Structure 1
Amino acid sequence: MANPLLGTLIHAIGGVAASTCYVPYQKVKKWSWDSYWLVQASFAWFIFPFLIGFLTVPNLMDVFRDASSDVLINATLLGAIYGFGGMCFGFAIRHIGYSLTYTISIGISAILGTIVPLIMHGELSQKFNGPGGYTIFFGMGLALLGIIACGVAGYRKEKDLKKSNANSAEPLTFNMKKGLTLTLIAGVLSAVFGISLEVGAPVAEIAGTYGAGNFEGNANLILSTGGAFITNFIWFTVVGIKKGTLKEIIDVKSIGKKHFYLNLGMSILSGALWYGQFFFYGIGHVQMGAYKFASWVLHMSMLIFFSYIVGIVMKEWKQVSRRTNLTLIIALITLVISFIIMAYGSKLGTDISSSL
């Protein structure tokens, strides 16, 4: 039996996992970013999805056998496209930090992840003019304003850091133009991941008939993450060969056992946290019952909230002016309000639809 309150709490757990998944990189030493990314991607998008999928979905191979080949192929291809977004997201964090990367990219993802599935099913006009439609689209417009305000806060942060030079490390790496470009790409392609899950939904339904229950989403998640893994594995393997960094992953002697196992452990932890966000998303989505339409927006809003908490902990905004902090706070509040409005609009629509 569905329990929307429990579903919301489960989405919150997924939000915590997602907002902290790249924090372990801070402890990685004597490995290049490429080596770290290749290892964490292997666990996030290949090892954990398949391992947990086999453990939680009965007769998993039969589920894939029964599914349409078009669904399998299209969901995997969309996951592969998202794979480039995952790369951009990781690089963006290095240029503009956790708070801005998560806020802007996930804000865009929340909007597109809501609109595109409606277009795919030919329901955009119907939903816009139906119960809750105007409320949802008003919330989307408000979210766009919040995203723009985040960009303004980012440029002000860059200016503040250059003036004060109080943090010797950050001014050398903070690059709003490059980071914003990467973040916008990551946001659009993050929505593609949501679309991939939507395309693969029939696979989850088949898994449900085999008795997967709350874990039915682990079946189609394998397709989406598998596609992302293929893209990243090819890209970073080629890059690793060209740069000569690929050997870092197996060369224990050069960096020492202590650093090697620490790096490996932190990379696996990153992968586990990234996978965890959609593991809990799948469970929370099932629990939302009639409110499933709000799942993506709800999950994305959780990511933004907790990513800002991470940004505070990481002291990303410690050296900026009050004006810059105020701008970011206003932007975040605007985004949170927009997500609440969109979720409320979704609730109106699903409530009325379920009563018909």
Structure 2
Amino acid sequence: MPRTPLELFDVDHLLTEEEVAMRDTVRSFLEAKVRPHLADWYESATIPVRELAPALGELGVLGMHLEGYGCAGTSATAYGLACLELEAADSGLRSLVSVQGSLAMFAIRRWGSEEQRETWLPRMAAGEAIGCFGLTEPDFGSDPAGMRTRAVRDGDGWVLDGTKMWITNGSVADIAVVWAQTEEGIRGFVVPTDTPGFSAPEIKKKMSLRASVTSELVLEGVRLPAAAAFPEVRGLTGPLSCLNEARFGIVFGALGAARDCLDTALAYAGQRDIFDRPLSSYQLTQAKLADMSLELGKGMLLALHLGRLKDAGALRPEQVSLGKLNSVREAIAIARECRTILGAAGITLEYPVMRHANNLESVLTYEGTSEVHQLVIGRALTGEAAFR
């Protein structure tokens, strides 16, 4: 009897009933409400964020792993499984949820004042308010410490000037978490996007993450009250803690894209006749499917292990790097190999494989490039930092 790759690994045996229920609920929602539209959204480079956000809030996935303020408070593993299902639909959709919950909401929950939490988190959890996260700059991606955006004290408040780049949700956000240089070091600010001097032009002509809003943030003399600043955190501790949250979701999410590609290739190979036999009956095809299934299953076992460590409060940043590096590297290889099984049909939007492959090119880069994660792992192994 044919089995899917993750059935072959008996992955469900490692999950709790609650985790399976959460995964299946998210999968059912996506099948009914999202998947029928993905090819059109990707082709037109649009996504109805304002319509999707309340539905995702009702589903309970926005900030789902956070405690209180309208958040579901699920386990980290349950959140990872939700990310897997979201990215099995499209990386852009997982990015929307990840930026909302693991970057903007996590930053406010972890580092914000009680006033900031009460003002924004319930609305963001419900999808009534959309957030973005401004750290990366045009010349400072892997080296955020060099950022040029500055916040200067002005009386009782602050004035922000600078530019951020490659910001998911930026053009549709109600609130931006912006990190800036100050005389006290790097600090975070909660910036309502209707503040004078703030603009967020959308980045067009993308070949990847087309079903996602990607923007530039421009801050020109943006005046904020003192209460807009995160009260305690200084330096890169704040933004890097948020990036670790987002990277954890990618550990699972990228595997979702790989699973969708592999499921598609399996179905296609079983239906496509070549020389009067199913494509799936040929040794070369089975070798490809076996190798890809092995890598997907190994990646899933690592992701679940990291999820259990995170739930136990024992997950270290370099372990997140292990997961992110492995999941994305294997996912993009699986997507490319699956395209070969589909042949010419694989380049069309009738099938999701090329869409996933293109999206994964972005996932390979953001939340830390593969090279950065290799150096993080190298530092953990040798005790030597090779970043400079």
TM-score (norm 2): 0.26
Pick 1 or 2: higher relative contact order, CA cutoff 8 A, min separation 6.
1
Name whichever structure is richer in helix by fraction. Answer: 1
